[in-house]
Amino acid sequence: NVDGISARINDSKMNKLLIALALAPAAALVAPSVPRAPATVVQANPGIGTGQGPSLEWGGSDTTTGGAKKLSEALEEADIERKKAVEEAERRAKWQEQEREEKLRKVAFMKEMPDDTPAGSVSDYMYKEGVKDQLDKLDYDLVGLLPVKQRVREIAALLVLDKMRRKLGFDTAVPSLHMCFTGAPGTGKTTVAVRMGQILAKMGYCRSGHVVVATRDDLVGQYVGHTAPKTKEVIKQALGGVLLVDEAYYLYNAANDRDYGQESIEILLTFMENNREDLVVVLAGYKDRMDKFFSFIPGMSSRIGNHIDFPNYEVDELFEISKVMSRDLDYEMTDEAGDVFKKYIERRMAMPFFSNARTVRNAMDRARMNAAIRVFDQAIAGANGGDVGADDLKAITADDFQVILDEALAAEDDAILA
């Protein structure tokens, strides 16, 4: 009986196990596995045929589509460059053909032109182009400086005759108009540069003839990458006219190989060579320092075709300058005032930082102020009933210059005066 009871119990357990297995979900019967990163299905590029791109992103790079794109872009860029080269060659060929036709026309014109064909009179060109007017203004505004005026006339003569040659069809070339003005401060360098700009504009060698004055501070930067934009901006302002670089030798610092001035000089040299028809560069400064500067930068010296030296003024010339300033401002200097002025100039010439015409201008400003104080005090004191006439407002007397002469005489020999 015991064995029968045990057999019935085992049959019952087996039935329960079979029922549990039948009811259990299929996933529960699978042995657990190590989790792995799921694969990501990648959409094939619709522009590429089936099977030409990767189906699963395994973490690498798609070399097939990327390579195709780079190749396509390279072919497109090469095609653009080829078209540009073809267009440039066609342009060059067209220009050469035009030059050849122009030369043939010129040769035919020269053969048919009689030898006595007039080009016009020099005086007509001088008058019509306004050159004579500018030279007259130079004589009117500047006292003395005969060598400078003669050199300006020589340049003007070259420009006038060059224009007459062009009228008859002769070959011409734009002459080197870059200049170097050497001399002490106040000798008229800026004034001559302005007149030269106006002459060049009248003759058609520059568009406007305006003058842009620049120094090292205007051209050279303080850090890497700053100099080129500053220099190019100043040159941009001067295009069509004259760029006057005052005290140009400060652009180069021989003691410092890393000085940024060298970069500014290289940019200037490039524009001087490539923009000769639209920019005239004038370098100005003391003669000895400019000579040293050219020895360091030979490329600059070779591009300067006109060197003009401005001598210092004599006492009588400075007195004439003072009379010109008085005339321009509607003042009248008495003879006694002129004598005192000359004594003041002689004293100032023996002191440091004498600046020729600039010193004269400062002296005239002081004399005008002294004259104003004198007339004002006299009117307040009741002279002439307090009335001030036109003669009083125009007169500069010896007393007005005596004040500044006494100051100069009382100062030490090495004192610095205006």
pLDDT in tens, 239-282: 989 999 999 999 988 777 778 898 999 999 999 988 888 889 99
In degrees rounded to 5, what are phi and psi of residue 313? -80, 150
In DSSP notation, 93-115 reads HHHHHHHHHHHHHHHHHHHHS-T
Looking only at the bridges linking them, the beta strands covering 332-333 and 242-246 are: unpaired
Residue 105: band (very low, low, confident or very high) from pLDDT cuts 50, 70, 90: low
Determine the average pLDDT of the residues in 216-228: 90
Q: Is the pLDDT of residue 31 over 80?
A: no
pLDDT value of position 136: 83
- The CA-to-CA distance between both ends of the chain, in Å, stands at 144
Q: Looking at beta carbons, which pairs linking 145-150 to residues 24 or more positions away fall under 8 Å?
A: 145/187, 145/188, 145/192, 145/310, 145/311, 147/308, 147/309, 147/311, 148/188, 148/192, 148/308, 148/309, 148/310
Highest mean pLDDT among 39-43, 59-63, 95-99, 154-158: 154-158
What does pTM read for this prediction? 0.63
pLDDT digits (tens, 9 = 90+) for 125-151: 665 567 778 788 888 777 888 888 888
Q: pLDDT higher for 318 or 32? A: 318
The percent of residues above 90 in pLDDT, for the chain, comes to 35
Burial 35-59 (b: 16+ CB within 10 A, else e): eeeeeeeeeeeeeeeeeebeeeeee
Residue 330: band (very low, low, confident or very high) from pLDDT cuts 50, 70, 90: very high
Q: Is the pLDDT of residue 2 over 50?
A: no
Say which range, 167-176, 263-272, 308-317, has the weakest mean pLDDT: 167-176
Taking residue 134's Cβ as centre, other Cβ atoms within 10 Å add up to 23
Residue 47: band (very low, low, confident or very high) from pLDDT cuts 50, 70, 90: very low
Asked whether the beta carbons of 111 and 182 are under 8 A apart, the reply is: no
pLDDT digits (tens, 9 = 90+) for 346-372: 999 999 889 999 999 999 999 999 999
pLDDT value of position 141: 77
pLDDT value of position 407: 92
Determine the average pLDDT of the residues in 385-396: 88
Determine the average pLDDT of the residues in 93-110: 69
pLDDT value of position 64: 53
Strand partners, 211: 242
Highest mean pLDDT among 98-102, 284-288, 381-385: 284-288
Q: Is the pLDDT of residue 71 over 80?
A: no
Average pLDDT, the chain: 80
